[in-house]
Homo-oligomer: A and B are copies of this chain.
Amino acid sequence: MTTVTSEAVLPGAAQRRVRGYASGKADYLVRLRKIEGQVRGVQRMIESDSWCPDVVVQIASATRALQEVVVGLVSDHLRHCVMAATKSSDDNGQAALDEVAGLIRQVARL
In the assembled complex, the CB of A37 is this many whole angstroms from the nearest CB of chain B, namely: 9
B52 touches A74 (CB 8 A): yes
Please report the C-alpha to C-alpha distance between residue A39 and residue B39 in the assembled complex, in whole angstroms.
Answer: 9
Kindly list chain B residues whose C-beta atoms are within 8 Å of the C-beta of A102: 53, 75
For residue A24, give the distance in angstroms from its CB to the closest CB of chain B: 9
A55 touches B71 (CB 8 A): no
Contact (A19, B52) CB under 8 Å given A63-B63, A69-B59, A106-B60: yes
Q: Which residues of A contact B (CB under 8 A)?
A: 1, 3, 6, 11, 16-17, 19-22, 25, 28-29, 32-33, 35-36, 39-43, 45-60, 62-64, 66-67, 69-71, 73-79, 81-83, 86-87, 90, 93-94, 97-110
